[in-house]
A and B are shown apart, each in its own frame.
Chain A
Amino acid sequence: MTKLTITTSVVLSDEEKEALEKKLAQKYGKFNTEYHVDDELIGGIIIFDGDKVYDGTVRSKLDRMREQLYK
């Protein structure tokens, strides 16, 4: 069974977790979850499925913007 490590900037409520897991089930089917909180992310989510990392945080977007500005 796949294990998903989910990191957000704020603590998700149970409803929010349920809604999120419902959407993720379409891709992963059955899975276990491990939730973490990191306020440095500002907003958005990071999902690690054991193989790939999906980074949709505001922090990463700001970092990409910095790289573009540094060019």
Chain B
Amino acid sequence: MYQMLLSGLPLGLSGTKILLHLFNFALLMGGLTLLVYKPVLKFITKRQEDIKKQLEDNQNTEKKAKSLLAEYQEKLDKVEIELDQKKAKAEKSISAHKEAVISEAERRAEEIYRKAEIESENERIEAINSLHNEVADVALRIASNILEREISREENAKIIDACIEEWSEND
């Protein structure tokens, strides 16, 4: 076997060449390991770590985003509740104001009606008084005309005597 190796193998191969090739190959593999494999491995490991870190960052960002989303959703819900409450309050206030306005309008209408009634009554009384006075005037004018025609000198003298007697008694 050894001799076969030293003297040469079929196909022009020799043991030395094979050893040399093996040595080359080992050298190549060693060189490749040092120059390529380790840096590449280092690169790949670093890349893996970077990707892992990025994934972690993404997860954290996602968590934060979800947390923010939940927070804002809560705020939004609160705002909606607040809005509903304010809306209800405003509607209540409008309703109360409406009632107050109607009530005030009714009160004023009643007041106007009452004043109109009083004015009407006053006018009626004034008209009656005016008529009463007119009738009195007419009656007195008639009485005056009758008396002017009917009082004789003798009656006039009696009136004068009666007046003087009355004044004398009072004094």
- CB within 8 Å of B: which residues of A? 8-10, 16, 20, 23-24, 26-27, 42-45, 47, 54, 56, 58-59, 62, 65-66, 69-70
Contacts and interface: CB of A to CB of B under 8 A. Distances in A.
A9 B155 CA distance: 12
Interface of B: 132-133, 136-137, 139-140, 143-144, 147-148, 151, 153, 155-157, 159-164, 166-168, 171
Contacts of A43: 147, 151, 155-156, 159
Given A42-B148, A44-B163, A58-B151, A66 B156 contact: no
Nearest to B137: A66
Nearest to A13: B153
Contacts, number: 64
A20 B140 contact: no
A44 B140 CA distance: 17
Nearest to A55: B163
Contact of B164 (A8, A24, A65): A24
Contacts of B137: 66
Nearest to A63: B140
Nearest to A39: B148
A20 B28 CA distance: 182
25 contacts: A9-B156, A10-B156, A16-B157, A20-B160, A23-B168, A26-B168, A27-B171, A42-B144, A42-B151, A43-B147, A43-B155, A43-B156, A44-B156, A44-B159, A44-B160, A45-B163, A45-B164, A54-B167, A56-B167, A58-B147, A58-B159, A62-B143, A65-B143, A66-B140, A69-B139
A71 to B, nearest CB: 10
B160 A66 contact: no
A58 B132 CA distance: 22
A69 B156 contact: no
Contacts of A62: 140, 143-144, 147
Given A42-B144, A56-B164, A62-B147, 16 more contacts: A8-B156, A8-B160, A10-B153, A16-B157, A20-B160, A20-B164, A23-B168, A26-B168, A27-B167, A42-B151, A43-B156, A44-B160, A45-B159, A45-B160, A62-B140, A70-B132
Contacts of B155: 43
A6 to B, nearest CB: 10
